[in-house]
Structure 1
Amino acid sequence: MSVESVAIRADEPKREPRWKWLAGLGMALAAWGLVYSQLIPASEWAVSLLPVDRASRLGEALAFFLYDTPKVILLLTLIVFVMGVVRSYFSPEKTRALLAGKREGLGNIMAAGLGVFTPFCSCSAVPLFIGFVSAGIPLGVTFSFLIAAPMVNEVALGLLFGLVGWKVALTYLGFGLGVAIVAGWVIGRLKLEGWLQDWVKDIHGAAMVVPDERLTFVDRIQLGIEAVKDIVGKVWIWIIAGIAAGALIHGYVPADLMVRIMGADAWWSVPAAVLIGIPMYTNAAGVIPIVEALLGKGAALGTTLAFMMSVIALSLPEMIILRKVLTLRLIAVFVGVVGTGILAVGFLFNMLFH
């Protein structure tokens, strides 16, 4: 649903009053809290009905899957709804207008910060990149936004907070923004605009038109609901796949093996995790259950988060999409700079939390 369609519907005469929407929202949140509070006993009860030993490897895997699946979907639904309401205050035009004319440094910081709150993922790289270039936004500032948007988004932070705690979530936020800001600044200082595809370089700046979006609170609630339908409807299969992988790790992978492979003492584990993560393709909702399982098996925090960052920020499908607007040389620089930042975060986390 577009902002314009909601705004048009705001003028329709037959519309439920605001108090009904607020009452419905309150009841929905209360139901969400009740269901979430009963996930542990419900999952244990479900496992008890199955012909498996709860203490067996299969029992552990099933308990993980039956508990994490509704938990992640509930968390994701709430996060996406709230951010859908927040996103109604933003648009691609407003985002470009905020960044246009900003110098490097301040522009990188603003771009990375906006990337956390705006509704863009790596799949939106091509149209966003063209729009940013046409608005005259510096190349490095554009990259700060495009790095932060998929890697440090509200889904990743919300699920990290819900699954592994606020300390990890806040630390990830800080270092993720740091990677986006520094990587964008470095790319900007290299002055690589000549490495864009020729047709992108030919795009000239255009005047920015920011629509006057006069939405009511009910309109914003509707946009939040539409965001849930759209986003959760698209990623649920990745959620189940990620939780299934996490359940297998949780139930069947020996803890000592995971510590040897992804422990802080194995210096090669961080670059190995990044190399493994780049060819993979999933999103934050799909990869975080795997992160939860890895940490539960004793994997080092820095190594695990480096794996997560590489999956989200440097996925092979994203590189294929970016190939439409970037030359191979510029893609190589992008991967090298961001990859170096992710490696630094992984090694630093392992030092701090060893």
Structure 2
Amino acid sequence: MFDWLQNFADWLIYSVFEISETTRLGTALNFFVYDTIKILILLFVIIFFMGIVNAYFPIERLKDYLHRKKLYGLEYFFASLFGAVTPFCSCSSVPLFIGFVQGGIPLGVTLAFLITSPLVNEVAVAMFLGLFGVKVTLVYAISGILLGTLSGWILSKFKLEPHLSDWTKEILAKKMEQVNYQIDKRSFLQRLPDITRSAWDIVKNVLLYIIIGIAIGAAMHGYVPENFFDQYLGGDEWWTVPLAVIFAVPMYANAVAIVPVIEVFVAKGVPLGTAIAFMMATVGLSIPEATLLKKVMTFKLIAIFFSVVTLAIIISGYLFNAIL
């Protein structure tokens, strides 16, 4: 989907600026250019699409339905399942998260998507199948979806809506004013300039956070050597799983990029459960993601979100080591 963008990043960094692709600087800059443009495109397109949905689809009815009906947790499962089939990393999932919040979807359901989307995708599943076989692949895919479902449900019990950022609350307040007091009978073409302007305003508001977050991720991607972790995670001591998660949080990569690294870890003696916990923390929890989320969440909400997901990943790591 974004092959053209990768080619552009390669051309810009390696040909125009003549920085070798074998250098850490070249790798970091290439990553920064590719991910910055990709996320900005995704953010604008998704917010624009959500603007169309909000203009024509009775999103308040859907929100009320999710609040009223006893779905027995299925709403969290469906959100996680949707996250599993969207091939996004943690930072790329943030635009969809903003769109869901803007659309009035319950926060716990939205967080279930945000957790699962970077953890599981069809390309990573295919790579797992080829590298580790059916059993490990099923454990990885099912656990990722259940992790998002259970974490979203747990987070919903904390009633975290008051801890959304003031900027997000303003968006929601404006949306409620439009629902309560305005019936827009304009045609799609008449609404299009307002929808486009609204999408662009949101992009401008989060631009700085996107650049800072991806810059941190690019530095980690380019300058942290892959073999740095082998010597610390290669045993079966109880502390290796939480240590793997702690090591992983500053990192930034999508599931597809990290799967080959996990293969190397396992080949060098790192227990498979510990390696999968490292992968889940790398793609599901990252400093760049926290930086992006700061625009839509308070520090307290980010801390609660990271704590619940971190605990769930650590527990999963122990379970993986026990059954794999």
* 1:334 equivalent among 305, 316, 323: 305
* Paired residues of 1:262 and 1:270 also in contact (CA < 8 A): no
**TM-score, normalised with respect to structure 2:** 0.62
Q: Residues of 2 paired with 1:126 and 1:300: CA distance?
A: 31
Counterpart among 314, 319, 322 of residue 343 in structure 1:
314
State how far apart, in whole Å, the 2-side matches of 1:261 and 1:199 are.
41
Find the partner of 1:301 among 252, 258, 272.
272
Q: Which residue identity does 1:136 align to in structure 2?
A: G
Q: After superposition, what is the alpha-carbon deviation per residue over 1:163-218, rounded to whole angstroms, capped at 9, x for unaligned?
A: 222211110111111110111111111101000001211212578xxx9xxxxxxx
- Conserved 8 A contact 2:93-2:118: no
Contact 1:99 1:107 in 2 (8 A): no
**Structure 1: 5+ residue runs without aligned partners?**
3-90, 212-237
Q: 1:315 aligns with which of 286, 292, 299?
A: 286
Label 1:284 to 1:267 Cα distance change in 2 as closer, same or farther (>3 A). Answer: same
Q: CA distance change for structure 1 residues 286 and 151 in 2, over 3 Å: closer, same or farther? A: same
Cα distance between partner residues in 1 of 2:318 and 2:253: 23
Aligned-pair identity in percent equals 44
Q: What residue identity is the alignment partner of 1:262?
A: G
> What is the TM-score with the length of structure 1 in the denominator?
0.57
2:323 alignment counterpart: 352
Shift of 1:122: 2.1
**Pair 192,177 (structure 1): closer, same or farther in 2 beyond 3 Å:** same
Conservation of the 8 A alpha-carbon contact between 1:114 and 1:145? yes
2:234 paired residue number: 262
- The CA distance in 1 between the partners of 2:160 and 2:104, in whole Å, is 15
Q: Distance in 1 between matches of 2:155 and 2:262?
A: 29
1:146 and 2:118 are equivalent in the alignment: no
Distance 1:159 1:292 in 2: 10
1:102 matched to which residue of 2? 66
Higher-Rg member (1/2): 1
- 1:133 has 2:101 as partner: yes
For 1:138-287, what aligned pairs fall within 5 Å after superposition?
138-202=106-170, 203=172, 204-205=175-176, 261-263=233-235, 265-287=236-258
Distance 1:119 1:157 in 2: 11
The residue aligned with 1:112 is 80
Considering only aligned residues, what root-mean-square deviation do their CA atoms show, in Å? 3.2
| Cα pair 1:197 1:325 within 8 Å, conserved | yes
User: C-alpha offsets along residues 118-145 of structure 1, whole Å, 9 cap, x if unaligned?
Assistant: 3443223443233212222110000000
For residues 219-257 of structure 1, what are the alpha-carbon distances to aligned partners after superposition, in whole Å with 9 as ceiling and x for unaligned?
Answer: xxxxxxxxxxxxxxxxxxx9xx89x966x69xxx9xxx8
- In the alignment, the residues of structure 1 paired with residue 245 and residue 66 of structure 2 have an alpha-carbon distance, to the nearest angstrom, of 32
Provide the rounded CA distance (Å) in 1 between the counterparts of 2:99 and 2:280.
Answer: 25
Shift of 1:345: 0.3
Query: Whole-Å Cα distance in 2 between the matches of residues 113 and 348 of structure 1?
Result: 22
More deviation, 276-285/320-329 = 276-285
Within 1, Cα distance between the matches of 2:280 and 2:94?
20
Cα distance in 1 for partners of 2:280, 2:252 equals 12
CA distance in 2, matches of 1:294, 1:99: 44
Q: Aligned ranges for residues 54-65 of structure 1 at < 5 Å?
A: none
- Structure-2 residue corresponding to 1:291: 262
Structure 1 contact 270–306 (Cα < 8 Å) conserved: yes
Question: Which amino acid in 2 is paired with 1:171?
Answer: V
